[in-house]
C-alpha cells in the first residue's frame, strides 16, 4: 500500500486478524416486517395453503402408522339370519247379556301367533309355505270351540247338532285336558275333524289359507331344522318325551316308578318350554303329536309326543289313528268327532299357511 504511513498499515493488519474467519456461520437476520396490507394477505395465504409436496415418512415409521385410523368393523346383526315370519291373530269373542237379556258378541283382544317361512324343495315338488311357530294352543282354539263368534243361540245349536261345531268341554274332561289353565298349553286331544274344521274357520276369519301340513312338508321342516338328534339328551332339549314330562299327582305326590300308574303320569307342557330347532320351530318333536294330512287322503300323527320314550324316537315316527283305542274311555256314545278320551291326551296339530 504505497503512500500510507507504516503505522496505519500495521493497524489495518491487526484489525483483519481480529475479524471472524471466512466461511464461519453467522446468525440469521430477523425477518423484515410486512410493509403493507398486500404483503400481509400474501403471508397468510402462504401459511394457509397446504404443502402439496408429498412428505417422506421418518425412518422407522410405516405408511400404516401415518395413515388415518381404520374404521371399526361393523357389528353383526344377530337378527340378520332370523327366519322370515309374520304374526297373525286368532279372533276372540265373549258373550254377555245386555239389559234386555239378549246375547251380544263383544270382540276381545285376539290371540297372536307367529308363522315362520319354510323354503320349499323344488326337487320334491314342495313350494314355499309358512308353518306355525308352536302347536295350536287352547287360547287360539277357544273362540271357535265355544262358538263365541256367534250370537244366535239357535244357530249355535244347529251347528252343533249338524256336527259342524264341537260340543262344549266341561267337567272332568276340561280338567283332564287342562283347558282352563293359564299356561299356553297345546290343545289336545283333538281329532282330525277338529284340526281341519278350525283351519277352515280361521281361513274365513283372516282371509288367508290355513290347513294341516302334508307329511312331506312336516318332514322338510324337520330336516331343515336339524332333523331328529340321535342322542336322547339332545332330543330332550327340543321337546317333551316320557323321560322329561312326568308330573306329580296333586294329592299324592310323585308315584313310585314301579307303580303301574306311573307311566300314565306324563303330559304336555306349555309351548316354548323347550329350545326351538334351527328353523325357529318349537316342539316339532315331542310335547303333542301333530296331525298331518295328504290332501284328500289319509291323516296321521308325526313328531312324537310326551308319552314316547326319547330312546325310541326317530325322524320317521308316525302314529295312525285308532278310534277305538284312543276313545276307549270316552264317556258318551257315539264317540265324539272332535275329542278323544283315552289313556294319553297327545293328539294336537300345527298350522300351515300357504305362501300366497
HSE-CB of 255 using CA atoms within 13 angstroms: 14
Q: What is the pTM of this model?
A: 0.73
Q: Which pairs count as long-range contacts for 101-110, CB under 8 Å and 24+ apart, including other chains?
A: 103/151, 103/152, 103/153, 104/151, 105/148, 105/149, 105/150, 105/151
Q: How far apart (Å, rounded) are the C-alpha atoms in residues 173 and 177? A: 6
Beta strands in 248-302 (DSSP E): 289-293, 299-302
DSSP secondary-structure letter at 306?
Answer: T
Strands 85-90 and 103-107: unpaired
- What letter would DSSP give residue 345? -
User: So what's the pLDDT on residue 55?
Assistant: 38
Q: How far is CA 345 from the centre of its chain?
A: 28
Report the pLDDT value the prediction gives residue 108, as an integer from 0 to 100: 86
Per-residue burial over 298-324, b if 16 or more Cβ lie within 10 Å, else e, is ebbbbbbbbbbebeebeeebebebeee
Vertex 313: Cα angle to 230 and 187 (nearest 5): 125
From 118, 119, 115, 91, select the one nearest 105 (Cα to Cα): 91
CA distance 153 to 147: 9
- The CA-based dihedral angle spanning residues 171, 176, 181, 185, taken in that order and rounded to the nearest 10 degrees: -140
Neighbours of 244 (CB within 10 A): 19
pLDDT the model gives residue 226: 95
The Cβ of residue 256 has, within 10 Å, a number of other Cβ atoms equal to 8
Instruction: Give the phi and the psi of residue 32 in degrees, each rounded to 5.
Output: -75, 140
Name the DSSP letter for residue 249. B
**Other beta carbons less than 10 A from residue 63's beta carbon:** 7
pLDDT at 152: 84
Q: At what angle do helices 138-145 and 192-206 cross, to 10 degrees?
A: 80
d(CA 214, CA 353): 12
Run of H or E residues at 201: helix 192-206
C-alpha neighbours within 13 Å on the C-beta side of residue 196: 16
The pLDDT value recorded for residue 259 is 52
Name the pairing type of β-strands 352-354 and 129-132: antiparallel
**For residue 126, what is its C-alpha cell?**
314342495
- The pLDDT tens digits along the chain (356 residues) read 455 555 555 555 555 554 444 344 444 444 444 344 344 333 333 333 333 333 343 344 333 344 445 665 665 544 455 568 999 999 998 876 665 666 677 888 999 999 999 999 999 999 999 999 999 999 999 999 988 888 888 898 899 888 889 987 877 778 878 888 889 999 999 999 999 999 999 999 999 999 999 999 999 999 999 999 999 999 999 999 988 887 766 555 555 555 555 556 788 999 999 999 999 999 999 999 999 999 889 999 999 999 899 999 999 999 998 877 888 777 777 888 898 887 678 999 999 999 87
Separation between Cα atoms, residue 227 and residue 205, nearest integer Å: 34
Q: Which three cell numbers stand for residue 198?
A: 278350525
Amino acid at each position: 500500500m504505497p503512500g500510507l504511513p507504516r503505522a496505519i498499515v500495521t493497524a489495518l493488519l491487526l484489525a483483519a486478524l481480529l475479524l471472524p474467519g471466512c466461511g464461519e456461520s453467522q446468525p440469521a437476520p430477523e425477518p423484515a416486517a410486512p410493509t403493507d396490507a398486500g404483503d400481509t394477505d400474501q403471508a397468510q395465504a402462504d401459511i394457509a395453503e397446504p404443502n402439496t409436496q408429498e412428505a417422506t415418512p421418518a425412518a422407522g415409521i410405516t405408511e400404516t402408522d401415518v395413515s388415518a385410523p381404520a374404521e371399526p368393523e361393523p357389528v353383526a346383526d344377530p337378527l340378520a339370519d332370523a327366519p322370515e315370519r309374520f304374526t297373525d291373530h286368532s279372533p276372540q269373542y265373549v258373550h254377555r247379556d245386555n239389559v234386555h237379556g239378549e246375547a251380544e258378541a263383544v270382540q276381545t283382544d285376539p290371540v297372536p301367533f307367529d308363522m315362520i317361512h319354510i323354503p320349499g324343495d323344488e326337487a320334491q315338488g314342495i313350494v314355499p309355505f309358512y308353518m306355525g311357530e308352536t302347536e295350536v294352543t287352547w287360547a287360539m282354539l277357544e273362540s271357535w270351540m265355544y262358538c263365541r263368534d256367534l250370537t244366535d243361540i239357535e244357530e249355535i245349536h244347529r251347528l252343533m247338532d249338524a256336527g259342524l261345531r264341537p260340543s262344549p268341554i266341561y267337567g272332568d274332561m276340561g280338567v283332564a285336558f287342562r283347558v282352563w289353565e293359564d299356561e299356553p298349553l297345546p290343545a289336545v286331544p283333538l281329532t282330525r275333524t277338529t284340526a281341519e274344521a278350525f283351519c277352515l274357520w280361521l281361513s274365513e276369519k283372516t282371509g288367508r289359507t290355513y290347513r294341516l301340513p302334508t307329511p312331506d312338508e312336516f318332514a322338510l321342516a324337520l330336516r331343515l331344522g336339524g332333523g331328529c338328534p340321535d342322542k336322547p339328551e339332545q332330543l330332550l332339549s327340543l321337546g317333551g318325551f316320557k323321560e322329561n314330562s312326568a308330573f306329580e299327582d296333586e294329592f299324592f305326590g310323585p308315584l313310585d316308578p314301579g307303580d303301574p300308574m306311573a307311566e300314565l303320569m306324563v303330559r304336555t307342557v306349555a309351548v316354548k318350554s323347550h329350545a326351538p330347532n334351527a328353523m325357529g320351530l318349537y316342539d316339532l318333536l315331542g310335547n303333542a303329536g301333530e296331525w298331518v294330512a295328504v290332501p284328500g287322503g289319509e291323516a296321521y300323527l308325526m313328531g312324537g309326543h310326551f308319552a314316547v320314550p326319547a330312546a325310541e324316537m326317530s325322524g320317521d315316527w308316525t302314529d295312525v289313528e285308532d278310534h277305538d283305542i284312543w276313545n276307549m274311555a270316552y264317556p258318551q256314545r257315539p264317540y265324539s268327532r272332535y275329542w278323544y278320551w283315552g289313556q294319553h291326551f297327545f293328539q294336537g296339530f300345527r298350522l300351515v299357511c300357504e305362501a300366497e
